[in-house]
Structure 1
Amino acid sequence: MANGSRQAAWEFFGTELKRRREDAGITQVELGARVFVSGGYIGQFEQAIRKPQLDVAQRIDETLQADGIFERLCRKLIDDPRYADYFAGVVELERLASTVYDFEPTVVPGLLQAPTYARALTLATHPFATDEFVEDRVAARVERSGILKDATRPEYWAVVHETVLHVPVGGPGATAETLDHMAALAAERRVLLQVFPFSAGAPANSGSLRLMEFEDAPPTAYTETSFSGSLLDDPAVVKRARRAYDLIRGAALSPEASLALVRSAAEDFRRCTSTT
């Protein structure tokens, strides 16, 4: 489904939610209390500013006796076979964010990966996959990264652990290509890039961490492990995640020193390629 069509469908979701809520004589605050979100969130769902998670859509169905329509719509709109179930909602929010903050401890962030690197990561986790499956996943990664070239792109801050600069994903050539790509985006000021150095010790968060801020909606946090991810919007939890990110960013190298280190690592990988 194209982005425009998907947004139109979310707008239909919001319009239908508002119609059924008003027909039931329930305010946004009352509905929010019954489905365990704020009344403001219900308003944002109705305006298609924020997308509900599946469990919220299911509770809305139960409360409004909507015969499962909101669950079906939600499943249809977040169901993209190119993304893991737990990540599809993040992709939707990413397109709406005004600012995105990423911390990655082991790999280059998805938005900064070159296709060869993305292909190698896909094959590492799906060694028996068909070529079609792999190329679909790579195409999805490239499509996502397009937001950094858009005129309305979000401000994007990325911190990577120094480990990322030394792991030859897909071989030295593929890693050099992605590090060059990452450095170019930083030099073009499409991303504010920092490296968390070995000398800084343990980071404040051991896994990947993403924060997303919006013009007209509360911020969210997303954490991920190898086989699952959690999209978090509880204000207290998001505040803790933001503090962890601030600690990581504060211990990272400056953008200038980080860019120099990324370029140096890319050159090291290129030398490996030339000697093999």
Structure 2
Amino acid sequence: MAARKDIDGSVSVPAFYGKELRWKREAAGLTLQQTVEGSFYGASYLSEIERGHRRMPEELARHVDRVLRTDGFFARCCEDVRKAGNSRPAPCFAEALQMEARARGIEEWNSTVIPGPLQLEPYFREIIRVAHPQYDEEKVAELVAVRRSRACVYEEADGPASWTVLHESVLRQPVGGDELMAEQLAHVANVAGRRRFIVQVLPSDAGLHPYMTGSTFLMSFSDAPPVVYTEGSYSGQIHDDPNIVMEYQQAYNRLRAAALPPEESLRMIEAAAEDYASGNRARRLEHRRFASRGLRSRPRGVRRPRR
């Protein structure tokens, strides 16, 4: 069992809030699971709040106040915590991050990974490990804090109207193993099922489409012209020229038309999560490995009879 990590409340306002939450919970003698019972949130969600990696929704804050008998403390403070900044984002994303915070609508496309605001910490850590193996734990923790602070974009009821199109390969390409992918995809389905966030999946056999490379998201505002942010592995660029933005918007409309309908897309994501969780995916891969060698899969420990 991994050692329990202390929380440094001086790092940020969310970390201070999370440390106080953990102290109150443990003082009441309750586990994470016991604390969230009766709410619509899971123990891992509350754990991320305690570590300062996720904002506390007001609904959950009121529930925690009732369970821990904290006289409305967490509900009163959760809005201040939500507004507080966590850390410095990567330079290429700093301006886009500021725009994201005040966007009225967001439309996103990603061909390779789950969109950033929907990524749980284990999933994001795997991506960092591959992209930046030289980073130490302090740097990784800083990036995780920034990434999780963006969860409100999709997860809070007052967030911008959001629309995301994912390539089917995002569901099929495992990141960090089956258990991690099961949790991550279940999280995406859960968020999509309970607020304005709409997800579509572009099937692998859809053929050519307008967004063949990289990730893109379009942001619209109530008090400013729309912009487009495009991002590669190590750089990003903001486009605000009206003609370019219009081209991206029209391409995104065609992309949505080629993708599966939202209801069918959500069922596909839920099925993929169940596939990882049940071990069906692993069994199919094992069967394929045997088939490629001209062998039939057989129970482990059973030897092929001699001829």
After TM superposition, the score normalised by the length of structure 1 is 0.68
Equivalent residue letter for 2:239: L
Out of 259, 264, 269, the residue aligned to residue 262 of structure 1 is: 269
Q: Which residue in 1 is equivalent to 2:179? A: 173
Out of 86, 96, 99, the residue aligned to residue 90 of structure 1 is: 96
Out of 186, 197, 213, the residue aligned to residue 191 of structure 1 is: 197
- CA distance, structure 2, for counterparts of residue 81 and residue 146 of structure 1: 16
The alpha-carbon deviation at position 190 of structure 1 amounts to 3.8
Q: Is the 8 A contact 1:219 1:233 kept in 2?
A: yes
Structure 1 SS opposite 2:150: helix
Pick closer, same or farther for the CA change 1:273–1:87 going to 2, 3 Å. farther
Correspondence 1:224 to 2:231: yes
Equivalent residue letter for 1:84: A
Q: Which residue in 1 is equivalent to 2:210? A: 204
Structure 2 SS opposite 1:185: helix
Structure 2 SS opposite 1:100: strand
Out of 108, 112, 117, the residue aligned to residue 111 of structure 1 is: 117
Correspondence 1:233 to 2:240: yes
- CA distance, structure 2, for counterparts of residue 97 and residue 193 of structure 1: 18
Structure 1 SS opposite 2:279: helix
Deviations 1:87-131 (A, max 9, x none): 111110001100000000010000111111111111111112211
- CA distance, structure 1, for counterparts of residue 157 and residue 260 of structure 2: 28
- CA distance, structure 1, for counterparts of residue 88 and residue 196 of structure 2: 25
Gaps spanning 5+ residues in structure 1: where? 4-79
- CA distance, structure 1, for counterparts of residue 122 and residue 280 of structure 2: 15
Pick closer, same or farther for the CA change 1:160–1:260 going to 2, 3 Å. same
The alpha-carbon deviation at position 271 of structure 1 amounts to 2.5
Q: Which residue in 2 is equivalent to 1:141? A: 147
The alpha-carbon deviation at position 235 of structure 1 amounts to 0.1
Q: Which residue in 2 is equivalent to 1:242? A: 249
- CA distance, structure 1, for counterparts of residue 132 and residue 205 of structure 2: 34
Q: Which runs of structure 2 are paired with 1:30-41 in the superposition (5 Å)?
A: none
Alignment size in residue pairs: 201
After TM superposition, the score normalised by the length of structure 2 is 0.61
- CA distance, structure 1, for counterparts of residue 149 and residue 257 of structure 2: 31
The alpha-carbon deviation at position 148 of structure 1 amounts to 3.1
- CA distance, structure 2, for counterparts of residue 107 and residue 247 of structure 1: 21
Out of 119, 144, 167, the residue aligned to residue 161 of structure 1 is: 167
- 99-108 vs 190-199, greater mean Cα deviation: 190-199
Gaps spanning 5+ residues in structure 2: where? 1-10, 14-85, 284-307
Q: Is the 8 A contact 1:172 1:273 kept in 2?
A: no
Q: Which residue in 1 is equivalent to 2:188? A: 182
Once superposed, what is the RMSD of the aligned Cα atoms?
2.3
- CA distance, structure 2, for counterparts of residue 208 and residue 249 of structure 1: 15
Structure 1 SS opposite 2:211: coil
- 113-122 vs 266-275, greater mean Cα deviation: 266-275
- CA distance, structure 1, for counterparts of residue 177 and residue 87 of structure 2: 27
Deviations 1:3-45 (A, max 9, x none): 9xxxxxxxxxxxxxxxxxxxxxxxxxxxxxxxxxxxxxxxxxx
Equivalent residue letter for 1:216: D
Q: Is the 8 A contact 1:212 1:220 kept in 2?
A: yes
- 255-264 vs 82-91, greater mean Cα deviation: 82-91
- CA distance, structure 2, for counterparts of residue 81 and residue 141 of structure 1: 10
More helix by share: 1
Equivalent residue letter for 2:162: Y
Structure 2 SS opposite 1:241: helix
- CA distance, structure 2, for counterparts of residue 124 and residue 190 of structure 1: 32
Q: Is the 8 A contact 2:202 2:259 kept in 1?
A: yes
Deviations 1:146-172 (A, max 9, x none): 233445310010100001001111111
Equivalent residue letter for 2:244: V
Equivalent residue letter for 2:205: S
Q: Is the 8 A contact 1:196 1:253 kept in 2?
A: yes
